[in-house]
Amino acid sequence: MPGWPLLIALLAALGAAGVAIVLYVRRSAEVARLQATLEAERRNWSEKLAEQAAARERLAETFRSLSLDALQANSRQFLELAQTHLAQYQSAARADLETRQGSIGQTIAPLKEALATVTVELRELEKARGEAYGGLHAELVTLRQIHQNLHLATGNLVKALRQPNVRGRWGEMQLRRVVELAGMLEHCDFVEQASLGRDDARVRPDLIVRLPAGRSIVVDAKAPLSAYLDALEASDDETRNARLLDHARQVREKIVSLAKKNYQDYVQPAPELVVLFIPGETFFTAALEKDASLIEDGALLNVVVATPTTLIALLRAIAYGWRQEQIAESAQRISDLGRELYARLGTLGEHWEGLRRSLAGAVEGYNRATRSLESRVFVTARRLRDLDASAAAETIPELSVIDDRAQALQAAAPPGGPAGDADS
C-alpha cells in the first residue's frame, strides 16, 4: 500500500520525539539535583573558609606573640653582647692609643730639638752670608781710606826708614796692621825673631797664613827700600833714575832670593806661594816703572809681590774662603740633621701606621657586628612589623656602618735616601 512508508516514518518520528522528551525530563531533573548539591557544597566550603581564616588569625596572633617575645629577648642579648665587645674594643684601642701617644711623644721630643738646632744653624748661616755680602760697600770705603792714610804716612817715614832695624820693624807693623784690617788674625801666625830650617840653611818668614783644606802662604816683609830712599833724596833726574833702576834690581833680586829659600822644606803644610810684602804702593810702583816684568817673572818663580792694598784684598779673599768653609761645615751639619730628622720622621710614620691599623680593626669589628644585626635580626623584626598593622608606628632604626677609613701616610724617600737610623 502506498501510505505505509509515510505512516512508518511518522511513527518513527513520534517515537524519537517521545524518547527525546523522556531524556530531556530526566536531564532536567539531574541538572536540578546537581545544582542543589553544588549550592550545598558552596555553603559548606564558605563555612570551612571562614573557620580556616579564624584559625589562621588565631595562629598568626599566637605566632606573633611568641616571635615578638623571642625577638625581644634575642635582640636584648645581642645588644648586650655587642656593647660588651665594643667596650672591650674601645678599652683596648684606648690603651693602645695611650701607649702609642707616649711613644710618639718620646719620638717628637728629639725632633723638636733637631728642628731647634736646624733653626739656629740657619740663622748663623744667614748671618754669615749677610756679613760676607752686606758689608762690601763699607769694606771698599775702608780700603780707600787706608790707601790714602798709607800714602800720607809714607812721606813722613822716609827718614826713619833709612835705618835697617827701623825699616824692618815698620814693615812688620804694617804687615800686622794689614792682617788686622783684613780680619785674618785668627788664621795668621806671626813668626817674630825666629828661624826655621837647619843650621846651614835658616829662613825666617814674617807671616804664615793658613788656608782652608790645610794649605798655607808664606809672607816676607823684609823688602829692599834703601835705593828708593836714595832716589827720593837725589838732586837731579839722572841720579834719581839710576837709583830707581837700582831699586827695581834689588826687588828682583829679593824675588829670586825668596824663590831659592824653599819654604816648602821647612813650613808644614807646604806653602802654596811666597808673598813679598812691600809696605807702600809707591815703592812697588817705582820698581814696576823701571822693570815691568817683575810681576810676571815673580809668578813664574811662585813669588807674588804685594802692597798693603793688594795684600788686604788677598787676605780678604782668603777670609771669604774661610767663611765659605764654615758655611760648608754648617751646611754639612744641617744635612746630617736633615737625614736624622728624616729617619726619625720615618719612625714616627711607623707609629702612625700602627695606630691607623688599630683604628681600622676597631671600625671593621663594629661594621661586622652592625651588618650581622641588620641582616640576621632586624630584618625578621621588620617582617613581624609588616604582619602586625598595629605595630607600624614602632619602627626599628636602621644602623649605619662607618665608611670612613684612616688614611695611610704617603712616605717618599729623598734623592739621596736617609742615611743612618734614628732612635725610636
- Split at pLDDT 50, 70, 90, the class of 423 is very low
266: which DSSP letter?
T
* Phi–psi pair at 197, nearest 5 degrees: 105, -170
C-alpha cell, 385: 612589623
What is the distance between the alpha carbons of residues 133 and 151, in angstroms, rounded to a whole number? Answer: 28
State the Rg of the chain over Cα: 59
Question: Which of 93-97, 279-283, 347-351, 364-368 is predicted least confidently?
Answer: 93-97
C-alpha cell, 124: 748663623
3-state secondary structure of 198: strand
Higher pLDDT, 236 or 76: 236
Q: Are 157 and 170 in contact (CB under 8 A)?
A: yes
Residue type, 342: Y
What is the distance between the alpha carbons of residues 175 and 178, in angstroms, rounded to a whole number? Answer: 5
Higher pLDDT, 413 or 319: 319
The whole-number pLDDT of residue 328 equals 83
The residue among 185, 120, 124 whose CA lies nearest residue 327 is 124
Question: Which of 55-59, 131-135, 240-244 is predicted least confidently?
Answer: 131-135
Q: Examine the pLDDT at 200 and tell me if it is beyond 50.
A: no
Q: What mean pLDDT comes out for the span 78-86?
A: 75
- List C-alpha distances in Å: 57 to 60, 65, 165, 360, 390: 5, 12, 137, 49, 14
Mean pLDDT of the chain: 75
Residues 6+ apart with CB under 8 A from 279: 170, 171, 174, 175, 221, 223, 307, 308
Count of C-beta atoms within a 10 Å radius of residue 25: 10
- Strand 207-211 and strand 215-220: the pairing is antiparallel
What is the distance between the alpha carbons of residues 25 and 269, in angstroms, rounded to a whole number? Answer: 152
- Split at pLDDT 50, 70, 90, the class of 419 is very low
Q: Examine the pLDDT at 281 and tell me if it is beyond 80.
A: yes
